[in-house]
Structure 1
Amino acid sequence: MTRTTSRDARAAATQEAILTTAEQLFAEHGIANVSNRQISEAAGQGNNAAVGYHFGTKTDLVRAIAQKHAEAITAIRERMLAEMDESADLRDWVACLVEPVAEHLDDLGDQTWYARFTAQLSTDPALRLLVDRQTADDDSIRAVIAGIERHLPAMPPEVWRARATMMRYLLTQMNAERERAIADGAPIDRERRATTVALVDAITGMLQAPVTAV
């Protein structure tokens, strides 16, 4: 191994340690409550400026964490879309939003922080906008939303926007609650399938609910 290759390997390992540590601290304590210095120390970095050196600002670090998971989730969603046929109904399209996240969490193992990190992210308007922009650029997400819209009854645009927000929060908060329960050792079924099916059912029903005139 050359000196340059060895240095690059060390840098990659340091970056991964920082990403994992930051994700855990953000998930457990909130993004605003954790400093780059705390992350560097918890990641075992002698240089307290390690986060800034490797990632830049806290916003850049948050973006890197979100992007790391988004790539894996998008790959799962693209696979699901490729397997869908013309008989797909509304529930199938909703499943393309719910199941990729659940499958990714399963792939990460029993000890995860991503769902709680995402929930913390959703409470920060500026950082949430950052992730919303990443989502808007995802072709697979656009395809799923278009599929959902094709199967919905006619409704005013403001009602659809409100229900899309409800859908996002249900997906975010239910995964975070389940992840938190596992972390706390709560006596729950560790199989995600039941939770995933219930979430798909709930979102599908919510989207199809009658619209009451105001």
Structure 2
Amino acid sequence: MTIKITGCTRFEGKYSVSRHSDKAREVLLDAAEELFALHGIDAVSNRKITEHAGTANHSAIKYHFGSRADLLRAMVQRAVGDVYAIREKLPLNSDVSALNLREQVTLYTLPLVYSFDALPKPSWRAKFLFQALLRPDLTDVLAGLVDEDFRGKDFPRRLPPELEGLPDVVISARAKILGLMLLGLCAEYEDSVNEGEQLGTWESVGYFLIDSVVGMMAAPSTSPADFMDFSQR
């Protein structure tokens, strides 16, 4: 199953900001996403973003988003919105009350991968999100958006049978690791696509990740996993 949606608005060559407010926001988001992915979030100033977006108004980010944190929140919100739109189209989404572990993992993983595949090329979304995931100051932003968009009233609250009997701390710790694994591998594959050196397809990446996540989440626990409080990280 391959689902395509229209993602970011890109322009050939140099970015160009139109007078339309929504279009201007999109161009700024695209410019920030690319620069953050290539150079790191802390290494890129608001001025560099506006210049890369093709506007002489160096206050454009403040005008359209407010603070730097608001810009980052908008970037993550856009990414999550794209994923959520795809998730709603999956057949599994019609009845989420009795999903097994593989079905739940599929409902999370495939829309994420499809959203990366749907972006204009070159793309920088996966690499940006991986960097954002590593920043402590963005933890609440990412968690809040994910909770809001992916754990709504329709998402199952019970554990799938495959995880019954595992300590909660083990499940939480594994889930934390999986976030890094998913976005880390997607960021690497995104780089290979940008360079024209990719093997396989985004969909094959998605199913590899599903197999890996299911195996890791359902593996027996042989230690108490009491070495770290994952709920605070």
Same fold (TM over 0.5): yes
Identity of aligned residues (%): 32
Of residues 29, 32, 35 in structure 1, which corresponds to 2:45?
35
Instruction: Give secondary structure in 1 for the equivalent of 2:106.
Output: helix
Instruction: Describe the shift of the 1:145–1:27 C-alpha distance in structure 2 as closer, same or farther (beyond 3 A).
Output: farther
Could you report, residue by residue, the CA deviation over 1:70-127 in whole angstroms, capped at 9, with x for unpaired residues? 1121122233243457774321111111100111112213321110010110111111
> What RMSD over aligned residues (CA atoms) do the two structures have, in Å?
2.3
Answer yes or no: is 1:173 the counterpart of 2:179: no
**What CA distance in whole angstroms lies between the structure 2 residues aligned with 1:143 and 1:211?**
29
Paired position in structure 2 for 1:73: 83
Letter in 2 for 1:169: L
Instruction: Give secondary structure in 1 for the equivalent of 2:163.
Output: coil
Instruction: Describe the shift of the 1:141–1:200 C-alpha distance in structure 2 as closer, same or farther (beyond 3 A).
Output: farther
Q: Is the 8 A contact 1:74 1:140 kept in 2?
A: no
Q: Is the 8 A contact 1:25 1:34 kept in 2?
A: yes
Give me the TM-score of the superposition, normalised by structure 2: 0.80
Instruction: Describe the shift of the 1:121–1:145 C-alpha distance in structure 2 as closer, same or farther (beyond 3 A).
Output: farther
**What CA distance in whole angstroms lies between the structure 1 residues aligned with 2:153 and 2:181?**
19
**What CA distance in whole angstroms lies between the structure 2 residues aligned with 1:104 and 1:147?**
27
Paired position in structure 1 for 2:231: none
**What CA distance in whole angstroms lies between the structure 1 residues aligned with 2:96 and 2:63?**
47
In structure 2, stretches of 5+ residues that fail to align are: 1-17, 225-233
**What CA distance in whole angstroms lies between the structure 1 residues aligned with 2:186 and 2:118?**
14
Paired position in structure 2 for 1:4: none
Q: Is the 8 A contact 2:100 2:161 kept in 1?
A: no
Of residues 108, 116, 121 in structure 1, which corresponds to 2:132?
121
Paired position in structure 1 for 2:195: 184
Paired position in structure 2 for 1:111: 122
Could you report, residue by residue, the CA deviation over 1:11-63 in whole angstroms, capped at 9, with x for unpaired residues? 22222211110011111111111110110111111121211121111111111
Query: Whose helix proportion is higher, 1 or 2?
Result: 1
Answer yes or no: is 1:131 the counterpart of 2:142: yes
Give me the TM-score of the superposition, normalised by structure 1: 0.86
Q: Is the 8 A contact 1:90 1:147 kept in 2?
A: no
**What CA distance in whole angstroms lies between the structure 1 residues aligned with 2:29 and 2:120?**
17
**What CA distance in whole angstroms lies between the structure 2 residues aligned with 1:16 and 1:26?**
15
Q: Is the 8 A contact 1:31 1:120 kept in 2?
A: yes
**What CA distance in whole angstroms lies between the structure 2 residues aligned with 1:50 and 1:210?**
52
